[in-house]
Structure 1
Amino acid sequence: MRTSAAPGIERNSLALAVSGVVTAGVGLVYWIVMGRLYPATEVGAAAAVITTATMLSAFGNLGLGAYFERFLPVAGAQSFSLPTRGLVVGATVGAVLSLGFLVVGPTDEMFATSAQMALFPLVVVVLSGFALLDHVSIAMQRADWAARKNIAHAVVKLLVAAGVASVAGRLGIILSWVLTAIVLAVALWVVIRRALLVAAQTPPAEGVIMPPWSDQRRFIAGNFGIYVATALTPLILPPVVIGLVGAEENAYFAIVWSLVSAVIVLMTMLMGPYVAAASAQPSDVVSLTRRFVAILASVAGVSSIGLLTVGPFLLQLAGPGYASAGTPLMRLAALALPLAVAGLALTAICRVRRKLWPALLVQVLNASVMLTLCTVWISRHGLQGAGWGLIVAEGVTTAVVAIPLIRVLSGRDRRWADQDQVQQS
């Protein structure tokens, strides 16, 4: 499915990159402004609510974003019902997870009143739909729609939160985030809904068919496994760092890791335009794959240079301790970013092929190497141990996938033929 006047893979990727940079920058300003306008305890509690809700919504979405990107382009008459059902599933699972968190989580520190607790499931549901609509836009090869929504949200929520600071506490911060997300998500859904209804009435391209539900289920399960394996490192590593070298060193680690993670998240999002385009245009898959890898490599290279040059300056602004302890780690992480291209490229290729077990094995290997080496080396070499662990983990991944990836890029791998490319009889 490609809507009329839809931009190509390069422009879709550029839209996501610009959106990622702008929202990250405005997001940094947002929390700085909140820190100046609201008491620290209110900012900390609100940040915990939003971060937790974002995490629960991500797990509740079950990896359906990648499912949309892979199957919506070939959904045909199901183009409207497929994402609609997915949005309902994501919201439902997210709500259930949020209710479980209210039972077992540290609610006393996060919520000042029972009304705020009652609001929490709604926050998770809203953030679930807000995120999934990005993937629907990408699947329709209109990443620019998602980019505009996210940039508008970053700016508007800052203005709203600043405007109510004199009369609101943490609830003002949370509501500024959620209410603006609702308005923008509804606006985007109106646009998406119209395009989906048109797509549902448009015959699919010749040779492009929707695979059976059994294949779709396997894709959802495999992709969720990849998501969990990918999430292991950012979830487990901070407690490992604080346990080995203490809270102060973890503060230095956290700011560097947040910058590196932002780049990895951006590179991961760039898989979407490629998967959607390759699913809709299977005859052009080799050319699209080469262009996608070139885009990934370019983003990794630019980000690496940025971390090497601008990164130390940002750490210096945070304080001399951050600069002295974090700069060596940032330089090592910058060197690891280009090595991450191979593993991400393999995951995207596996999504197009609907054969996810190789990507899952590679992600498990990457997380295992990274966490093992960090546990050993941080205790011996401090934070630089995490940097070397990242380099080795990505290096091992690159070595494992190099030959298959080269075969794909050279056009010698003939295994692209799958059920999406079988000519309809």
Structure 2
Amino acid sequence: MSVGGMLAGRVRSVRREMSNPLYRNAYALMLNTVVNSGFGLLYWIFAARTYTPDDVGRGSALVNLMMLISVLTTLNFGQALIRFLPTAGNDSARLVRLAYAVSAGLGTVASAGVMIYLNLVHSPGDPLWVSPGFALWFVISTAAWSIFNLQDQVFTGLRSAMWVALENGVYGVVKLMLLVAVSFTSVSDGVFTSWSAPVLALLVPFTLLIARRLVPRHAAESAAEPGAGAPATSTLRRYMAGDYVGQVFNQATSSFLPVLILQLLGPEQSAYLLPAQTVFIAMNMLSVAITSSLVVEGARDPARAHLLARAILRRIAVIVLPAAVLVALAAPLLLLLYGRAYSENGSLLLQLLMISMIPRVVVTLWMTRSRLANRTGPLAVQQLVHAVVVLGGTVLFSPSLGLAAVGWSWLAAELLLAVFLAPIVVRWLRGTHPVPDRPSVPADPGAGEVTEVIGRVEDSTGPAGPADDGTDPTRRIPRIRD
């Protein structure tokens, strides 16, 4: 075969792959992870070279405080959008507005309370004191950040994940440019300002895109699906409750780990933990991104969810796992970028964390199946077990193993969970333990919907009409091609 013929065949293969929404959205979300990680790294490098260490330290603390408040007050609504928005039909717009209202409202109240505390308890000159003007800006920024983050899940649930990568790519560029520009002005808290101001600017166009184009089109496409509509209030509450508790355990593990190492081994070893943990989180997000697409498509077609899972597993096997192996092999050289001490003290930890990505695949697929079955209570238990093994193992073995105790404990937690959950995952992949299909539409169209909650949020976009884009509302996703 000629080179031209080979290239043409490859182009056809890529076009066929990208025409499938399962793969298209998965690759878009993986691209978004790479974009976010890259711009995040550049941002803090530029910040360190542009601002004083005190300014960087205060800015980093305020940014992380804003993100922590947002995580705790969105109630993990984002995962609920990924699960239920694909089949929400004509309730799509109301479900999105409910998520916005709850998250922004709780974020406003919580951030206002924190700002009042910092203003009253700390005195001017203290690193954590905030002026009334900055406090107001922080509250507005937190509410905007909550909606901005939710839009990633909205785009994903609407099967338009390419907008996620575009939105965050534009945000990364603008944020970086503003960071440098603000450094030449007299604006105080330039790090936090450069981080939050672009959010407010980008919120308007992307919110309009969702409300006026993507949601109406999605509602028209999904309204004819069997069982289309928002979930029952009790279902939504149970789903979010279990998922939220699990998210709290997950955050406790990742956020508390540096503090624990600081107490057990000292500040120097805590510093060596940071690069390895950052790389591992970025790699883990690749798996989360690709399985988020599986949740969306599996929600639309539960009977074929196991077939979609097999296809996604093959993509993980040829993309994520080889990348993890490559990072493990290159760990000493990669950490050498931070300094020789980081390479000598953190290489084994990073290698163990990368090896844990292999059993993590089983756990991730089990989590995906649990979400599709609306069983988030077991997710909370799984996250609790993981936190206990990781934190407990670190405490027990750090005196003898040092920083490597974190890696061995993490690997042990993933292996333990994988062994326990593997039979369920295998039966699911074989089709002998399927996800329950969506229920049919109830006789009373208003019964079982969250209309008593979301109906209070005014429908500012108007009723959704048919999408005049040539799509067939009854079309199922294409046959999976290997």
Relative to structure 1, is the Cα distance of residues 376 and 154 closer, same or farther in structure 2, using a 3 angstrom cutoff? Answer: same
Counterpart of 2:91? 78
1:194-221 per-residue CA deviation (whole Å, 9 max, x = no partner) reads 2213334556244233332111111111
Distance in 1 (CA, whole Å) between partners of 2:152 and 2:73 is 16
Write the letter of the residue equivalent to 2:285.
V
Aligned partner of residue 133 in structure 1, secondary structure: helix
Would you say the 8 A contact 2:73–2:106 is kept in 1? yes
Query: Do the aligned residues in 2 keep the contact of 1:67 with 1:219 (CA within 8 Å)?
Result: yes
Please state whether the residue corresponding to 1:43 is helix, strand or coil: helix
Deviation larger for 5-14 or 242-251? 5-14
Partner of 2:176: 158
- 1:218 maps to a residue whose letter is R
User: Helix, strand or coil for the counterpart of 1:412?
Assistant: coil
Out of 234, 238, 245, the residue aligned to residue 254 of structure 2 is: 234
- The corresponding residue for 2:156 is 138
Indicate conservation of the 8 Å contact 2:141/2:200, yes or no: no
Question: Contact conserved, 2:88 with 2:222, CA < 8 A, in 1?
Answer: no
C-alpha displacement of 1:417: 2.2
Q: Quick one: distance in 2 between partners of 1:288 and 1:82?
A: 26
Q: Decide whether aligned partners of structure 1 residues 311 and 18 sit closer, same or farther in structure 2, where only a CA change above 3 A counts.
A: farther
Q: Where does 1:206-245 land on structure 2 (aligned, <5 Å)?
A: 206-210=225-229, 211-245=231-265
Count residues with an aligned counterpart: 419
Residue correspondence of structure 1 range 219-368 to structure 2 within 5 A: 219-368=239-388
The amino acid across from 2:233 in the alignment is: W
Counterpart Cα distance in 1 of 2:236 and 2:61: 35
- The structure with the largest alpha-carbon Rg is 2
Q: Which moved more, 1:365-374 or 1:204-213?
A: 204-213
Instruction: Give the Cα separation in 2 of the matches to 1:168 and 1:332.
Output: 46
Superposed displacement of residue 330, structure 1? 1.0
Gap change, CA 1:18 and 1:198, over 3 Å in 2 = closer
Q: Answer whether contact 1:102 1:117 (CA < 8 A) is retained.
A: yes
Per the TM alignment, residue 315 of structure 1 is displaced from its structure 2 partner at its CA by 1.4
Cα deviation digits, residues 69-89 of structure 1 (max 9, x gap) = 111111112111111111111
The alpha-carbon distance between structure 1 residues 318 and 70, as it changes in their structure 2 partners (threshold 3 A), is same
Identity of paired residues, percent?
A: 26
| Counterpart-to-counterpart distance in 2, 1:118 and 1:206 | 45
Paired residue type of 2:73: G
Kept after mapping to 2: 8 A contact 1:69/1:138 = yes
Shift in CA distance, 71/155, structure 1 to aligned 2, threshold 3 Å = same
Matched, 1:197 2:216: yes
Aligned equivalent of 1:12: 25
SS at match of 1:80: helix
Deviations 1:94-127 (A, max 9, x none): 1222123224558631456332223211121111
Contact 1:207–1:424 (8 Å) recurs in 2: no
Please, which moves more after superposition, 403-412 or 170-179?
170-179
* C-alpha contact (below 8 Å) 1:209/1:424 kept by paired residues: no
SS at match of 2:199: helix
Query: What code does the residue aligned with 1:381 have?
Result: L
Q: Which residue of 2 aligns with 1:66?
A: 79
Contact 1:157 / 1:180 at 8 angstroms: preserved in 2? yes
Q: Which moved more, 1:209-218 or 1:69-78?
A: 209-218
Moved more, 355-364 or 156-165: 355-364
Which residue does 1:413 correspond to in 2? Answer: 433
The RMSD of aligned alpha carbons is 2.1
Using the alignment, how far apart are the partners of 2:418 and 2:343 within structure 1? 30
In structure 1, give the amino acid aligned to 2:31: V
Q: Any stretches of 5+ residues in structure 1 without a counterpart? A: none
Give secondary structure in 2 for the equivalent of 1:422: coil
Secondary structure (helix, strand or coil) at the match of 2:315 reads helix
Decide which moves more: 71-80 or 310-319.
310-319
What TM-score do you get using the length of structure 2 for normalisation? 0.82
Between 264-273 and 76-85, the greater mean CA deviation after superposition: 264-273
Structure 2 matches for 1:33-52, cutoff 5 A? Answer: 33-52=46-65
User: Normalised by the size of structure 1, how large is the TM-score?
Assistant: 0.93
Match of 1:184 in 2: 202
How far apart in 1 are the matches of 2:224 and 2:157?
15
Higher helix share: 1
1:164 to partner: Cα distance: 2.3
Deviates more, 1:263-272 or 1:143-152: 263-272
CA contact (8 A) 2:115 2:130 kept: no
Partner residue of 2:133? 115
Distance 1:76 1:82, change over 3 A: same
Letter matched to residue 59 of structure 2: A
- SS class of match (2:347): helix
Q: CA deviation at 1:185?
A: 2.4
Unaligned residue ranges in structure 2 (runs of 5+): 1-17, 444-482
